[in-house]
Chains A and B, each alone.
Chain A
């Protein structure tokens, strides 16, 4: 009781400062612990493969099967891992979604801020927010119950199916559906960042351009877009970070095969199944009892963590010149 009374009284300032500082430090320590934990769990993979596990060569499906079958005291051969198909899957989905999203996001932002009548843009903004807040499992559900069957039944032709019969089964789940949904998921983030930058551009700049006889669209291209270039890059970086880490939705609609889609296959490329680093973690979440598989899963997590670091550092670097121009606030 006495303690409670003492806490109720106004604290001396130095104690308050130390208390608040200690709690903040706790958050910092937790994050460092996260990195340490993931690195130590992933270590066996590096021990047995060096960094060559980032390359390809062997059949990943067979390696996963061997890993899950490994005993409690695994041999060095059980740790053999060549994870290139996963890295490739992550890269290709991310790059395609970000490029598509950048085009859509730029057009949509220009539309919302510069072109649409106020009433229309007031209606579009809540829609974009809604897209941003739909949980990924709902996107996944729509993908797996609506889009995948549609693609499988209507877009994949019998000829394509037969051509791929020996290598992989085309069910409709695959690169195309994954990229489309991923694009819808990351575009709102880009729109938010780009819109914010567009609004911050002083309107006198635009007025100057319009006064020189440019139409609004040309004014955007000549004046506004160059001014917000750092914001566009920052938006792309943030969207990339989000796309890299998307796990559940991709696991649901990507087909879940450690197959690297081949761009040489023409349109079939879009129907080929794949697996990303994040979706592999979801796939093998029940296999943590086997030490090699556990190490493999943590090494995927480590790679994602590194990618996230790289993204936040480049996001920071990109925003440095942006600060200089920030006119608001």
Chain B
């Protein structure tokens, strides 16, 4: 399998399922430690203590963030905050809840994944299974790598320039005088799909490359064409990889603030553009949980830090749930791989 290049915080972070060298193969160096640290030199002992401290510190930071956000979140979270619309107000008491941002996050995520999943999967399939001409494959591969490395603030500002083009004006909010703002759910969702693309691509590519070639050969021997093999054999086989990539992509999209701040720009409520119900909503502006947190913190308007805490807590719960899903998929995948390996004669 190739080394993972794409995507900060993408699939490789989740691929070290069991990082310890397998026991039984002579045990690693750490296990069965003969020399007690007490006999080590002072310098070595210092490093050992430091390593333990750093490990503990990381756990402490992660744990205290979760606990602190949990305490604050539960303190301020109530059904009325979740299920009421935000209003513009002077203080936190009358500023309403975050129903609209919550739905906005979901809407954005759905738009993003609907665009990114087919694109990522198709790119990975084409590159692994066809990949001709070679120069074109190289171009596509490097451009996905570039997306993976591009900061999301740059993606956002590019999206603004893109959707301010006259041709794309119907897709976003337009001012009375005809000025194009380039801000809408469509714009934000489309650019968010660029965030989800690299993890989906990487995960699908690694999965496809990991399918043993005898499976393809068996399908070809049965008279299947390449595309039928892809559809009936390869894609079903790497379903869990694709799912991992998709969940990672979703968690990147849920957490993205810069794109929402710049391309959605709303403060609270949905503000549909035009009279058509669904299309107006998509063309209109709104907010997401991330931008709600931002605007309610002292960095934004700062009217209601308690509500920022509550919304951030909801955000954190989403992220934790997605983490758990990835872990679950990874574990069942590892178990399946273990089963396949232990079958004799395979």
Q: Smallest CB-CB separation from B150: which chain A residue?
A: A308
Q: B20 near A217 (CB under 8 angstroms)?
A: no
- In angstroms, Cα B227 to Cα A27, docked, is 21
Q: Smallest CB-CB separation from A316: which chain B residue?
A: B5
Q: A144 near B297 (CB under 8 angstroms)?
A: yes
- In angstroms, Cα B5 to Cα A322, docked, is 12
- In angstroms, Cα B33 to Cα A137, docked, is 43
Residues of A within 8 A of B92 (CB): none
Question: A312 at interface (Cβ–Cβ under 8 A)?
Answer: yes
Residues of B within 8 A of A144 (CB): 297-299
Known: A184-B61, A285-B262, A301-B154. A112 touches B297 (CB 8 A): no
Residues of B within 8 A of A34 (CB): 150, 155, 158
Tell me the minimal C-beta distance from A110 to chain B in angstroms.
6
- In angstroms, Cα B157 to Cα A36, docked, is 13
Residues of B within 8 A of A111 (CB): 51-52, 54-55
Q: B59 near A206 (CB under 8 angstroms)?
A: no
Known: A215-B44, A285-B262. A130 touches B62 (CB 8 A): yes
Contact of A217 among B23, B47, B230 (CB under 8 A): B47
Residues of B within 8 A of A21 (CB): 126, 130, 136
Contact of A135 among B58, B125, B255 (CB under 8 A): B255
Question: A189 at interface (Cβ–Cβ under 8 A)?
Answer: yes
Q: B140 near A137 (CB under 8 angstroms)?
A: no
Q: B29 near A114 (CB under 8 angstroms)?
A: yes
Residues of A within 8 A of B55 (CB): 107-108, 111-112, 116, 120, 124
Known: A112-B55, A189-B8. A24 touches B261 (CB 8 A): no
Tell me the minimal C-beta distance from A177 to chain B in angstroms.
13
Most chain B CB neighbours (cut-off 10 Å) among A37, A137, A297: A137
Question: B293 at interface (Cβ–Cβ under 8 A)?
Answer: yes
Tell me the minimal C-beta distance from B321 to chain A in angstroms.
11
* Chain B interface size range: 35 or more
- In angstroms, Cα B230 to Cα A9, docked, is 15
Q: A193 near B29 (CB under 8 angstroms)?
A: no
Q: A11 near B8 (CB under 8 angstroms)?
A: no
Question: B14 at interface (Cβ–Cβ under 8 A)?
Answer: yes
Q: B143 near A115 (CB under 8 angstroms)?
A: no
Tell me the minimal C-beta distance from B207 to chain A in angstroms.
13
Residues of B within 8 A of A326 (CB): 3
Q: B66 near A248 (CB under 8 angstroms)?
A: no
Contact mask A33-51 → B, CB, 8 Å, 1/0? 1100110010000000000
Tell me the minimal C-beta distance from A299 to chain B in angstroms.
11
Q: B143 near A135 (CB under 8 angstroms)?
A: no
Question: B162 at interface (Cβ–Cβ under 8 A)?
Answer: yes
Question: A96 at interface (Cβ–Cβ under 8 A)?
Answer: no
- In angstroms, Cα B35 to Cα A41, docked, is 64
Tell me the minimal C-beta distance from A25 to chain B in angstroms.
7
Q: A305 near B161 (CB under 8 angstroms)?
A: no
Q: A38 near B154 (CB under 8 angstroms)?
A: yes
Residues of B within 8 A of A219 (CB): 29
Q: Smallest CB-CB separation from B263: which chain A residue?
A: A285
Tell me the minimal C-beta distance from B288 to chain A in angstroms.
10
Residues of A within 8 A of B130 (CB): 17, 20-21
Most chain B CB neighbours (cut-off 10 Å) among A120, A145, A189: A145
Question: A233 at interface (Cβ–Cβ under 8 A)?
Answer: no
Question: A273 at interface (Cβ–Cβ under 8 A)?
Answer: no
Contact of A145 among B15, B29, B151, B305 (CB under 8 A): B305
- In angstroms, Cα B50 to Cα A326, docked, is 29
Q: B312 near A130 (CB under 8 angstroms)?
A: no
Question: B339 at interface (Cβ–Cβ under 8 A)?
Answer: no
Q: A125 near B30 (CB under 8 angstroms)?
A: no
Question: A160 at interface (Cβ–Cβ under 8 A)?
Answer: no
Size of A's binding interface in residues, CB under 8 A: 111
Tell me the minimal C-beta distance from A329 to chain B in angstroms.
4
Tell me the minimal C-beta distance from A130 to chain B in angstroms.
5
Q: Smallest CB-CB separation from B326: which chain A residue?
A: A129
Q: A308 near B146 (CB under 8 angstroms)?
A: yes
Contact mask B318-336 → A, CB, 8 Å, 1/0? 0110110001000000000
Q: A145 near B298 (CB under 8 angstroms)?
A: yes
Q: B40 near A130 (CB under 8 angstroms)?
A: no
Contact mask B1-24 → A, CB, 8 Å, 1/0? 111010011001111100111010
Question: B149 at interface (Cβ–Cβ under 8 A)?
Answer: yes
Known: A112-B55, A123-B59, A141-B309. A118 touches B20 (CB 8 A): yes
Known: A107-B50, A309-B146. A13 touches B58 (CB 8 A): no
Residues of B within 8 A of A76 (CB): none
- In angstroms, Cα B158 to Cα A31, docked, is 10
Known: A244-B151, A282-B261. A38 touches B140 (CB 8 A): no
Tell me the minimal C-beta distance from A185 to chain B in angstroms.
10
Q: A20 near B126 (CB under 8 angstroms)?
A: yes
Q: A241-258: which have CB < 8 Å to B?
A: 241-242, 244-248, 251-252
Q: B38-73: which have CB < 8 Å to A?
A: 40, 44, 47-48, 50-52, 54-55, 57-59, 61-63, 65-66, 68-69
Residues in B lying within 8 Å of A, measured CB to CB: 1-3, 5, 8-9, 12-16, 19-21, 23, 25-26, 28-31, 33, 35, 37, 40, 44, 47-48, 50-52, 54-55, 57-59, 61-63, 65-66, 68-69, 118-119, 122-123, 125-127, 130, 132, 136, 139-140, 143-155, 157-158, 160-162, 194, 197, 225-228, 230, 251, 254-258, 261-262, 290, 293-294, 297-299, 305, 308-309, 312, 315-316, 319-320, 322-323, 327
Contacts A16-B225, A319-B5 given; 17 further ones with Cβ under 8 A?
A21-B136, A23-B123, A37-B158, A114-B29, A121-B19, A129-B323, A130-B320, A133-B319, A133-B322, A138-B293, A188-B13, A196-B12, A204-B26, A245-B154, A248-B261, A282-B258, A285-B262
A-B contact pairs, 30 of them (CB 8 A): A10-B225, A13-B227, A16-B225, A17-B126, A20-B122, A27-B119, A27-B140, A27-B197, A31-B146, A32-B143, A38-B161, A107-B47, A115-B30, A115-B51, A124-B58, A125-B19, A126-B323, A137-B257, A140-B257, A199-B19, A216-B35, A217-B47, A241-B151, A245-B152, A278-B153, A282-B258, A304-B153, A305-B150, A308-B151, A312-B146
